[in-house]
Amino acid sequence: MDKIKLGIIGMGRWARQAHLRNLRQLPQFQVTAVSSRNDDNISKALEITGEGPLVFRDWTELLESEEVEAVIIATPNHTHEEIACLALESGKHVLVEKPPALTVQGCDRLIETARKTDKILQVGFELRYSDLYRHVAELIAGGDIGNLRLMRCMNFRGPFFGSWRLSSELSGGPLLELSTHHFDLFNFFAGEKPVRVCAMGGVNTSVESDILDNSTVIIEYDRSVRATLLMCLFSSCDNKLKFGITGDNGGIDCYDKSQKIIKHSALSPNCREYSIASRACIVEYEHHGTLRQMESFAECIRCGVLPRANGLAGKWSVAVAVAAARSIKEGIFVETGL
């Protein structure tokens, strides 16, 4: 079977370390083109790929190339919507990093463009594809903890440093840049759209920018399911990410870094603790799920099926982030409008 000819727009650290390094292990793709205005980033990318790919300083020229069938968009957040729409209209399948757009309306535009062009639109929610969180979703759906009632996430980490992520205008702020991953997992586990949001947050320690460095976000779903996110960007913890799921007949704690799960049962005082094993002979770079999401991208292109992390998933996560930001600013409960 012919390889999918892939172009990558944006050659920052994530594009190189997560996408290019993982793509070297995937026979489904051939990286035929890369695009960046930064010569140093291009040089670092070619150290990974070799001299094979075409190099474009202007991403619009990459989209015009017949050597590209699909693109990964790994540029600053405020550019995602425009580039993804033009890529779809150019006849390319698209995997766009989260958030797909900075507004719900922008997400709607992307979803409609994908529909009209009949091309795949996948959002870079790699956590959905990790074995850990897929297993948790299966436990919830299988009734292992009874009816889902409460979800919680603690994401404590150090600050962003010296990049476009420190600009609310360019990144949309950490609720869009960072927390959309966690809002997406809440939506994934709940299996339904978020209804309303209440949030508090502030700038307690940041001196380089005005972006939030901590927040508490409460999300309400139908069926009286609620989720709470605690986010901190000035923690001494080493990227500590932990999820807890509570049902009316048990619970699950899961730890991202160790890939560990602890299951609790209302019927037994004993807990079951185990780890999710990695696939043999596979080295997955960066976050768990980065390799599988690109395997899924290839499968969706080949088979014409809707990705698990599709445009609608992107819209729901963005809707929570936007509602949370408004709730913090205005001190009110905010309906997502979904």
Mean pLDDT of 3-12: 97
Strand, helix or coil for residue 245? strand
What is the percent of the chain where pLDDT is above 90? Answer: 82
Look at residue 280 in the predicted model and tell me its pLDDT: 52
- Predicted local confidence at residue 337, as pLDDT: 95
The whole-number pLDDT of residue 163 equals 82
The predicted structure's pLDDT at residue 283 = 63
pTM over 0.85: yes
- Map out the domains of the chain with their CATH numbers: 4-124+288-309 (3.40.50.720), 128-286+317-335 (3.30.360.10)
Residue 271's nearest CA partner among 242, 243, 248, 251 is: 251
Contacts with 60 (C-beta within 8 Å, 6 or more apart), sequence order: 86
Say if residue 65's pLDDT is above 60: yes
Q: What is the pLDDT of residue 59?
A: 97
Averaged pLDDT of the chain: 93
pLDDT value at residue 159: 83
In this predicted structure, which of 9-13, 129-133, 239-243, 260-264 has the lowest mean pLDDT? Answer: 239-243
- How far CA 261 is from CA of 19, 149, 185, 231, 332, in Å, comes to 27, 18, 16, 21, 35
Share of the chain above pLDDT 70, in %: 95
More confident residue, 139 or 209: 139
Output the CA angle 239-229-190, nearest 5 degrees: 115
pLDDT at 172: 93
Q: What is the pLDDT of residues 253-294, one digit of tens each?
A: 999 988 999 999 877 778 999 898 776 556 666 788 999 999
The answer, yes or no, to whether residue 240 has pLDDT greater than 90, is no
> Does the pLDDT at position 324 exceed 70?
yes
Per-residue pLDDT, averaged over 5-9, amounts to 98
User: What is the per-residue pLDDT for 54?
Assistant: 97
3 state SS of 121: strand
Would you state the pLDDT for residue 235? 87
What distances in angstroms separate CA 16 from CA 28, 34, 235, 297, one per listed residue? 18, 10, 27, 18
Per-residue confidence (pLDDT) for residue 28, from 0 to 100: 96
Q: Is the pLDDT of residue 142 over 60?
A: yes
Place of tokens 């901190």: 232
> Which residues make Cβ contacts (< 8 Å) with residue 184, sequence separation at least 6?
98, 125, 127, 128, 309, 313, 314, 316, 317
Over the stretch 39-59, which tens digit does the pLDDT of each residue have?
Answer: 999 999 999 998 889 999 999
Q: What is the CA radius of gyration of the chain?
A: 20
Do 275 and 261 contact (CB within 8 A), yes or no? yes
How far are the Cα atoms of 11, 26, 59, 86 from residue 169, in angstroms, in the given order? 21, 35, 21, 21
pLDDT of residue 282: 61
pLDDT of residue 236: 77
Nearest to 8 by CA among 16, 218, 296: 16
Res. 102: pLDDT tops 90: yes
How many CA atoms, within 13 angstroms, populate the side-chain half-sphere of residue 277?
3
Q: To 5 degrees, how large is the angle CA 10–CA 15–CA 19? A: 135
SS (H, E, C) 84-119: HHHHHHCCCEEEEECCCCCCHHHHHHHHHHHHHHCC
Question: What would the pLDDT profile of 167-215 be if each residue is shown by its tens digit?
Answer: 889 999 999 999 999 999 999 999 999 999 999 999 988 766 778 999 9
Given a cut of 60, whether residue 78 has pLDDT beyond it is: yes
Whether residue 83 has pLDDT greater than 60: yes
